[in-house]
Amino acid sequence: MNSLMISISGVRGIVGEGFTPEIVARFSAAFATFTEKGTVIVGSDTRTSNYMFKYAVFSGLLSGGSQVIDVGVCPTPSLQLMVEKLKADGGIVITGSHNPAQWNALKFVRSDGLFLYPEQAKILLKIYNGRKIRRIQWDKVRKVRKDSTAIENHLDKVLQSVNREKIRSKKFRVALDSCNGAGALISPELLQRLGCQVFGLNSRPDGRFAHSPEPIASNLTQLSQLVKSERADIGFAHDADADRVAIVTEQGRILPEDYSLLLATKFTLANKRGLVVTNLSTTRALEEVVEQFNCPMKRTKIGDIHVSRCMKEKKAVIGGEGNGGVILPQIHYARDGIAAIALLLEYLAETNEPISKLASNFPHYYIIKRKLKTTRENFSLLKIRLKKEFQGAKFNFLDGIKVDLDKSWIHIRHSGTEPVIRIITEAKTKREAEDLYKLTSSFFKTA
C-alpha cells in the first residue's frame, strides 16, 4: 500500500497506488459501523478521481447499513455545516485538500460537524483493521438521497455573520483564484452578493488544477499579476476544498499565509475580547497581536481538529492555523476559507484602509516552511543534539520538537498529510531563519 497515510487528518494517498476504491470502500464500511448505521453526509471537492471514489464510499456505507445523503461537490466547510443542519450522525469528505492532483483522501466528520477526535479516529482504525465491520443483508440496503442545498446553506450562514451593507457600499474589486476547486462554486457568488466586482482566475470546478492547490506564495504569481492588471483592492486564493484562504494586497504583494489569521484575529479582538487558539507552528506575531488586546492565547498540536476542539471546549472567540486556515465560531468550529473572505472584507470596509496598510501594522518576522524526505527519523537522538546546540532554550515536545529561542524558533515534526518531515523556522530576518533551517536540516540524512 505504497503512499497510503492514515492519521487524525483521515486517510490519504496517491490515486491508484496507496489510495484505491477497495480501501475507500472498506474505510467507508468501517465508518458505517462506527456511526452505528446512522445517516452519513457525503460530498467531495472537484478532483477528477472523485467520481470513482464517490461510488466506493456509497458502496461501503450502504453495505454497512448507513443512510447516505449525497450533497455533491462542495467545499469541506459546506459539508461540515450540512452535517449539523441535517442532524446527521457523521460525514465523509472526499478531498485531497492542498495535496497535488494525483492525491486524494477521505476526511471523517463527527455529528457536530467537526473532524473525528484522535481517540475516535483510533476506534475507526481498529474497526477497519480488526475485521469488526458489520454488514447488512440484501433487504436492509437503503437508497441514496440527494441534497443540493449545502452551498446555499453555507452562504446564508456567512452572509448573516458580517455587515453586508457596509461591505456592499465599498464596491470592492476582488481578484479570486479558486484553483478550479470547490471554492469556484461558492466564493464568486459570495463576493457578488457582497456587491464586489469579481475577477475570476481558475474558476472552472473541473479539478484540473492550474497550479498546485496549496495556497502559498510560489503558487500565486498568476493571482498577483491579475490583482495588478485589474487594479483590484484585494486578491484571495483557495486550496482545492476551500477551507483555507491566502491574500494578495492591492499592490500585488503575496502575503505570507499566516496573515489570513493575523488579520482576522486583530479585527475580531477589536470587537470582542477573548481566548485565541492556534497551533505550535503559527507565527509568533500572533502572540504579540493577542497581547496588544490583553487576551489569552493557547497553542495546540498541529492539525485543525486540535485547534477546533480546544476552541469549542474553551469557548475561544477566534482561532486557526498559520496555513490560511481561519476558524470563526460564530459560524462553526471548523476552518472556513469562505467565511474568512467575508470577515476580511468587513475589516477593509470598517477601517477604510487598503489591505497593504493593514498588513504592514504587524510585528515583522520571517518564516520558512519546508519539507524534507529523510531516511533518518530518530527524534530521540535529535532531541539530544538540539539540546546541546541550543542550551538554555525552551523545548516543547507536544508535537515533534519545538525550540523556542529569544527572538526565533524551530519546529520539527512528521507530517500527517505527506510522507515527509516538516521543518519550520522563524526569526526577525530572512538570514537568521535560513541559518536556523540549514542547521536543523543538517541533522537529517536525506533520502
Rounded to whole angstroms, how far apart are CA atoms 126 and 371?
A: 30
For residues 419 and 13, what is the distance between their CA atoms, to the nearest angstrom? 10
Taking CA atoms, 201 is separated from 148, 168, 211, 399, in Å, by 25, 22, 11, 37
76-85 and 150-160 helices, crossing angle to 10°: 90
Q: Which three cell numbers stand for residue 386?
A: 538540539
Catalytic choice (97, 178, 281, 308): 97
Dist. CA 378–CA 158, nearest whole Å: 45
Active site residue 97: yes
Where are the extended beta strands (E) located within 318-406?
A: 318-321, 325-327, 366-372, 394-396, 401-404
Point out which residues pair with 72 in neighbouring strands. Answer: 43
C-alpha grid cell, residue 222 = 498568476
Q: Whole-angstrom Cα distance, residue 309 to residue 384?
A: 32
CA dihedral (12, 282, 344, 332) in degrees, to 10, reads: 50
Q: Which residues lie across from 404 on neighbouring strands?
A: 394, 409
Q: Rounded to whole angstroms, how far apart are CA atoms 94 and 41?
A: 11
Q: Count Cα atoms within 13 angstroms, Cβ side, for 175.
A: 26
Return the exposure string of 207-233: e unless at least 16 CB atoms fall within 10 Å of the residue's CB, then b. bebebbbbbbeebbebbbebbbeeebb
Cα(436)–Cα(402) distance, integer angstroms:
12
What 3-state DSSP class applies to 173?
strand
Of 305, 273, 291, nearest to 399 by C-alpha is: 305
Q: Do 405 and 411 meet the contact criterion of CB atoms below 8 Å apart?
A: no
Annotated catalytic residues are 97
